[in-house]
Structure formats: C-alpha cells, structure tokens
Structure 1
Amino acid sequence: MSEKQEKILYVCTCGKERSETAHMPFVLANAALAMDVQATIVLNGDGVTIAQKGYAETMPPGGGFPPMQKLVADFMELGGKMWVCGPCIKTREIDESALIEGATITAAGAVNVEALEADAVFVF
C-alpha cells in the first residue's frame, strides 16, 4: 500500500493592491513543493490578475519576498497547480488566452473537492 501524498491548498484573493499578502501563498507553496508536498494555488477575486501574462512583473515587492515574477515561475517549474476562478476572470474581462501557461480555469465544485482532499488550507 502506498503512502498518501500530502497536499496543501492555498487560496489567494488579492493582487497588486495587497502585494505583500499576495506573495505569501506563493512563498509557502514553493516551500511545500520543495518538501515534496503537493501544492495548489487557487486565485479568486482580485487574485486572478496574477495569472495574467505580464502582470506578475508589475507587482510591487512584497514584504522582503522575492519578486512575484520569480515566485510564480518557480511555482510552475516545481510542479505546482495554479487554478483560476472562471467567474472572477469573466467579471474582470480577462480572456482565457491572456493567462500564463499552466494556469487552469476552475469553478467552485473542483475547489471544494481539492479542499476536502487537502491536509491543510490557507487563505490569503
């Protein structure tokens, strides 16, 4: 019998206007991935802007953390899953084609399942 893969779900609800808070789920998720813990970041509300091509480069530094552009690139390279709220991008008139490679549109049901299967859920 194989061991269960540990999973953490991070929910990010803010973008550039709360840059320090927006950086935190990416910092924590990258640490989890380095520890061989599966990490999923769900971008909701203004957080969906982070998934837009070129947006991370415009974010101000957050709390002494690495630049958001590096955090996002590292997260994707380490195998993290980035889910983007479909209704949230529609409200902000963000087309799916404007999202970075690897960002996946999701909805409430899938997020609920991921939360139920996770060992921990953090919301920012």
Structure 2
Amino acid sequence: MADKVLINLATGMEDGERVLVAFLVATAALEQGKEVVVWTTKDAVRLGLPGEMQGVVCDGCPPLERLLSQFRDGGGELWLCPVCLNSRGLGDAETLEGVKVAGATPMWEWAGADTTVFSY
C-alpha cells in the first residue's frame, strides 16, 4: 500500500462540503501514518490564504478551522498552484505559514510512482 497520499482539490469555499471531505480524507490518511499533500488548483488556491478556510459547512460537520489545524499539526502539507494563484491576481498574496507554492512538476516529483491520488 502506498505511503503517500496526494489530494488534488480544485474547489474552494464555493463548495465547502467538497473542501470538508478532502480534508477529512487527508487527516484520516495522516492518522494512518501516510505522507499527505493537498495540492490546490483553480479557486481552491484561496484556501492557503489567511481567513479563507473557515466555518461549518453542514449540520454536524466539524469546523473547517479545526480540520485545517489537525491537518497541519499532523504533518500535512498544503500546496498552491502558482499558475492558478497568478491567474487570480494572488501571486503576491500572503499565505498561511508553511504553505508552499508548487506547480505540476514538483507535485509529480513528490508523488513518484507509488502514491494514492484523490481528486475533489
């Protein structure tokens, strides 16, 4: 079984439940001892900016701030697509501490040949 998990998240807070599910999967993988990268594309790159990933998106669901904290505390990495940032005028925006701006080439170099991939 792969020791790495890559989650491509292309949806931001316009679909908060999709964000929730992606980070639930990511934190569960971390709890299993996996290395996890959430690589954000399209509008999901905004999740790496201060104040974006917030709130409760459905009844009985955990707050997104708590999931993000668990993800980061568990060693998960949040990567933002540089092309997507630039196309939204966010190339110079302040990001959350520890967030990495990384394109497709570094993502594939990290993933290698034996990585479980999820896409949301």
Tell me how far apart the structure 1 counterparts of residues 106 and 29 of structure 2 sit (CA, whole Å). Answer: 21
Please name the residue that 1:83 is paired with. Answer: 79
Please name the residue that 1:42 is paired with. Answer: 39
Please name the residue that 2:22 is paired with. Answer: 25
Please name the residue that 1:102 is paired with. Answer: 98
Cα offset, 1:121, TM superposition = 0.3
Question: Structure 1: 5+ residue runs without aligned partners?
Answer: none
TM-score, normalised via structure 1 length: 0.86
Structure 1 runs of 4+ off > 4 angstroms?
none
Question: Structure 2: 5+ residue runs without aligned partners?
Answer: none
- Percent identity over the alignment is 25
SS in 2 for 1:121: strand
Tell me how far apart the structure 1 counterparts of residues 14 and 87 of structure 2 sit (CA, whole Å). Answer: 18
Please name the residue that 2:6 is paired with. Answer: 9
Is the CA contact 1:39–1:81 (under 8 Å) kept in the aligned structure 2?
A: yes
- The match for 2:48 among 42, 47, 51 is 51
Please name the residue that 1:114 is paired with. Answer: 110
Is the CA contact 2:49–2:95 (under 8 Å) kept in the aligned structure 1?
A: yes
Query: CA RMSD, aligned part only?
Result: 2.0
Tell me how far apart the structure 2 counterparts of residues 48 and 63 of structure 1 sit (CA, whole Å). Answer: 25
Cα offset, 1:22, TM superposition = 1.5
Is the CA contact 1:23–1:62 (under 8 Å) kept in the aligned structure 2?
A: no
Cα offset, 1:8, TM superposition = 0.7
TM-score, normalised via structure 2 length: 0.89
Is the CA contact 2:81–2:101 (under 8 Å) kept in the aligned structure 1?
A: yes
Relative to its length, the structure with more helix (as a share) is: 1
Residues 63-104 of structure 1 deviation map (CA, whole Å, 9 limit, x = unaligned): 743121111111111101111101111111224452101110
**1:96–1:80: structure 2 CA closer, same or farther, 3 Å change rule?**
farther
Bigger CA drift: 91-100 or 70-79?
Answer: 91-100
Tell me how far apart the structure 1 counterparts of residues 72 and 104 of structure 2 sit (CA, whole Å). Answer: 22
Bigger CA drift: 59-68 or 79-88?
Answer: 59-68
